[in-house]
Structure formats: structure tokens, C-alpha cells
């Protein structure tokens, strides 16, 4: 959608506040587990699961389900595609907000 | 969203969960217990064995902390792996601590073989205090652990205060038990309160069926 208004370039997958929070934390760490992201973002289990599925479908994160002993353990990691998309989103938003005059 | 998005503060917030359980306070406090109690034992066991005997104790405390973190803390606050900038910062911190420990070790040797003949306890106490403060300040900065500035300050003053109590008030063992005992107790207490608050504020998360 280049050539249009910069707002049109904003990635709708990232532009939801919950997903932006998730990606912010996953961007600054190498990987984190489900409980950690839940604590950091304050999202509920179900809500987080919904957003993570959308991010995984977009290829922005990887979800790895394993077992630690008898307990299930979900590990989350941002993909390179996700990192690039997050950086692009950040740049676009800075440009859009910078262009907004009082 | 209530807070502005800031990658640095997000990373700091994530990293600070490492010390949110107060268990490192307990561990460092247990180390100081050695300085408080070893002088009593040295009378019967000699300097080396009275310190060496604490190694199994530290091992047990470390093992207990490891198990508590794995089975109690991690299910409540989760776990994460550091990002690359943090890994680099921790590498720098490790190098600083290795160098600092070598310096302390060398100064200890110098003090033991040469320096002690023409020095006094105040000078050694001051030197030790400054090095400890440098170490704790570096740890507080690199580990995002502000309480270490307070602990470092208390520990820095402790050898001097101990020497003063020993010289002018006849306190035994250079005053170490009197000064390091309460500091160790204070750190362990802070750690335990922090841990209890974590348990209260972060109940274990129930994993829904089918997850």
C-alpha cells in the first residue's frame, strides 16, 4: 500500500494494543514462556491465547509447546519476520505521529 | 494503555523479575552470616576451616533457592531468556566481577604476608569496604538491583565500625559478629518479606484444560 497515506501502511496485526504489548516484550527478550508474557501484559489466559494465535498465523512469533515434567510448558519467540515487522511498525508510527501537527 | 511504550523500560521490567522474589537477598545475607559466625569458630578450628565449613552451607542454600525458584517462583511469574544487548551487558559485568575478585584476592595475600606488619585494621577495613562497595555498585547497576546500593553501603561501613568497636570498646573478633550479624539478618528479612509479597501477589496460574 505504499504511495498512499502513511496511516494505510500501519500493520493492523501489530496495531492492536494487546498484540503490541506482547510483541514489545517478545522483542526485548530472546524467548519467554506463556506465564511470563501473561504477567508482563496483564492479559488473561484466554485473551492472550487468542492474540498469540493471530501473531503466529502472521508468522510474527513461534509457539513451542513442550512438557516440563508432567506440566505443559509454552515457550514464545519472535521470528525474524516479526522483528522486521515490529521495526517497520515503529518507524511508520514515529513518522505518522511526527507528521501530526498541533 | 496506561503506560507509554518504551523498549528500554519494557526490557528493564522484564529483567527485574529476576530479583523480584527476594531470594538473592537471602543468599547474600547467608554469605554475610559467615563473616558474623566464622570468627567464633576460628578459635577452635583455625582461620581456614572456620571459613571452609560454610561452603556446604552455601551449597545447601543455593540448592534450596534453585529449587524454590524452579518450583514456586517460575510457575507464578514465568521465565524468559535475555535478549542480546542484556547478554552483552552481563558479560561485561562478569568480567568486572572476575577482575574485582582477583584484586581482592591479591590484596588479601598482600595483607596477609606483608602489609599487616606495618598497617592497622582501620586501613584494611577501609580498603575492603571500598572494594566491596565497588562490587555491589557494579552489581546494582548491571543487575538492575537498586537494593544492592544500600547493602553495599552497609557492608562498606561494617569493617570500619567493627574495627572501631574492637579498638575502643573491646568488642571481640574485630567487631565482625556485632556488625555483620545484624546486616545479614536485615538482608535475609528483606528477602523473605519480598518473597512473601511475591507469593501473595502472584498466585500460581491454573492452566486451563486442553492447554
pLDDT band per the 50, 70, 90 thresholds, residue B1: very low
Confirm whether B3 is domain-assigned. Answer: no
Asked if B78 and A20 come within 8 Å (Cβ–Cβ), the reply is: no
Asked if A28 and B11 come within 8 Å (Cβ–Cβ), the reply is: yes
Lowest average pLDDT, out of B49-58, B115-124, B187-196, goes to B115-124
pLDDT of residue A60: 96
How close A2 gets to chain B, by Cα (Å)?
Answer: 26
Query: Residue B74: its chain A contacts at CB < 8 A?
Result: 35
Give this complex's ipTM: 0.81
Q: What is the DSSP string of chain B?
A: --S---HHHHHHHHHHGGGTTSHHHHHHHHHHHHHHHHHHHHHHHHHHHHHHTHHHHHHHHHHHHHHHIIIIIHHHH--EEE-HHHHHHHHHHHHHHHHHHHHHHHHHHHHHHTGGGG--HHHHHHHHHHHHHHHHHHHHHHTT-THHHHHHHHHHHHHHHHHHHHHHH--SGGGHHHHHHHHHHHHHHHHHHHHHHHHHHSPPPPPPTT-
Asked if A29 and B81 come within 8 Å (Cβ–Cβ), the reply is: yes
pLDDT of residue B103: 86
Please indicate whether residue B45 or residue B58 has the higher confidence score (pLDDT): B58
**Residue listed under C-alpha cell 552481563:** B90
Confirm whether A98 is domain-assigned. Answer: no
Mutate to test the interface with A, among B9, B13, B14 (most CBs of A within 10 A): B14
pLDDT band per the 50, 70, 90 thresholds, residue B8: confident
Confirm whether B179 is domain-assigned. Answer: yes
Q: The domain containing residue B54 runs over which residues?
A: 16-199
Query: Residue B205: its chain A contacts at CB < 8 A?
Result: 35, 38, 45
Confirm whether A54 is domain-assigned. Answer: yes
Q: The domain containing residue A72 runs over which residues?
A: 10-92
Asked if B207 and A72 come within 8 Å (Cβ–Cβ), the reply is: yes
User: With 80 as the cut, is the pLDDT of residue B106 above it?
Assistant: yes
What is the C-alpha separation between A2 and A8, in angstroms, rounded? 8
Asked if B80 and A17 come within 8 Å (Cβ–Cβ), the reply is: no
β partners of residue A74 = A65
Confirm whether B11 is domain-assigned. Answer: no
User: With 70 as the cut, is the pLDDT of residue B73 above it?
Assistant: yes
User: With 50 as the cut, is the pLDDT of residue A81 above it?
Assistant: yes
Please count the structural domains in chain A: 1
Confirm whether A64 is domain-assigned. Answer: yes
Burial class (CB in 10 A: 0-12, 13-18, 19+), B190: middle
Confirm whether A44 is domain-assigned. Answer: yes
Confirm whether B96 is domain-assigned. Answer: yes
The CATH number of the domain where A65 resides is what? 1.10.10.10
User: With 60 as the cut, is the pLDDT of residue B2 above it?
Assistant: no
How close B58 gets to chain A, by Cα (Å)?
Answer: 27
CA angle centred on B80, ends B79 and B83, rounded to 5°: 165
Asked if A72 has any chain B CB less than 8 Å from its own CB, the reply is yes
User: With 60 as the cut, is the pLDDT of residue A30 above it?
Assistant: yes
pTM, entire model: 0.81
Confirm whether A20 is domain-assigned. Answer: yes
Asked if A45 and B81 come within 8 Å (Cβ–Cβ), the reply is: no
Confirm whether A65 is domain-assigned. Answer: yes
Please count the structural domains in chain B: 1
pLDDT of residue B117: 53
Cβ pairs bridging A and B (under 8 Å): 73
Of B10, B77, B83, the CB nearest to A39: B77
Lowest average pLDDT, out of A83-87, A98-102, B4-8, goes to A98-102
How close B25 gets to chain A, by Cα (Å)?
Answer: 22
Among residues 81-100 of chain A, which lie with CB inside 8 Å of chain B?
none
Arithmetic mean of pLDDT over chain B: 84
Confirm whether B10 is domain-assigned. Answer: no
The residue among A28, A19, A9 whose CA lies nearest residue A96 is A9
Give me the phi and psi of B107, to 5 degrees please. Answer: -65, -35
pLDDT of residue B122: 74
pLDDT of residue A98: 77
- Percentage of residues in chain B having pLDDT higher than 90: 38
pLDDT band per the 50, 70, 90 thresholds, residue B38: confident
Query: Residue A86: its chain B contacts at CB < 8 A?
Result: none
Asked if A35 and B75 come within 8 Å (Cβ–Cβ), the reply is: yes
Confirm whether A99 is domain-assigned. Answer: no
How close A27 gets to chain B, by Cα (Å)?
Answer: 8
pLDDT of residue A76: 96
The residue among B107, B109, B108, B104 whose CA lies nearest residue B138 is B104
Amino acid at each position: 500500500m505504499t504511495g498512499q497515506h502513511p496511516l494505510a501502511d500501519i500493520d493492523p496485526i501489530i496495531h492492536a494494543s494487546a498484540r503490541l504489548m506482547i510483541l514489545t516484550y517478545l522483542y526485548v527478550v530472546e524467548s519467554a514462556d506463556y506465564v511470563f508474557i501473561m504477567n508482563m501484559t496483564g492479559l488473561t489466559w484466554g485473551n492472550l491465547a487468542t492474540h498469540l494465535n493471530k501473531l503466529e498465523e502472521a508468522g510474527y512469533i513461534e509457539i513451542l509447546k513442550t512438557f516440563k515434567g508432567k506440566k505443559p510448558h509454552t515457550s514464545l519467540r519472535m521470528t525474524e519476520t516479526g522483528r522486521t515487522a515490529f521495526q517497520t511498525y515503529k518507524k511508520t508510527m514515529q513518522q505518522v505521529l511526527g507528521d501530526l501537527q498541533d | 494503555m496506561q503506560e507509554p511504550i518504551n523498549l528500554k523500560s519494557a526490557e528493564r521490567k522484564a529483567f527485574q523479575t529476576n530479583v523480584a522474589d527476594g531470594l538473592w537477598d537471602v543468599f547474600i545475607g547467608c554469605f554475610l552470616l559467615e563473616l558474623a559466625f566464622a570468627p567464633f569458630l576460628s578459635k577452635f578450628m583455625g582461620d581456614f576451616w572456620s571459613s571452609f565449613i560454610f561452603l556446604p552451607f552455601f551449597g545447601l542454600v543455593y540448592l534450596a533457592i534453585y529449587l524454590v525458584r524452579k518450583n514456586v517462583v517460575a510457575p507464578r511469574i514465568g521465565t524468559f531468556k535475555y535478549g542480546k544487548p542484556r547478554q552483552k551487558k552481563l558479560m561485561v559485568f562478569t568480567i568486572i566481577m572476575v577482575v574485582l575478585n582477583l584484586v581482592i584476592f591479591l590484596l588479601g595475600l598482600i595483607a596477609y604476608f606483608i602489609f599487616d606488619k606495618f598497617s592497622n585494621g582501620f586501613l584494611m577495613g577501609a580498603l575492603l569496604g571500598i572494594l566491596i562497595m565497588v562490587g555491589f555498585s557494579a552489581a546494582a547497576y548491571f543487575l538492575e538491583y537498586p537494593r544492592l546500593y544500600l547493602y553495599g553501603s552497609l557492608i562498606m561501613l561494617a569493617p570500619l565500625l567493627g574495627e572501631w568497636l574492637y579498638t575502643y570498646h573491646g568488642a571481640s573478633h574485630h567487631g565482625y559478629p556485632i556488625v555483620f550479624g545484624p546486616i545479614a539478618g536485615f538482608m535475609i528479612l528483606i528477602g523473605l518479606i519480598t518473597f512473601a509479597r511475591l507469593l501473595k501477589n502472584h498466585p500460581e496460574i491454573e492452566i486451563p484444560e486442553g492447554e
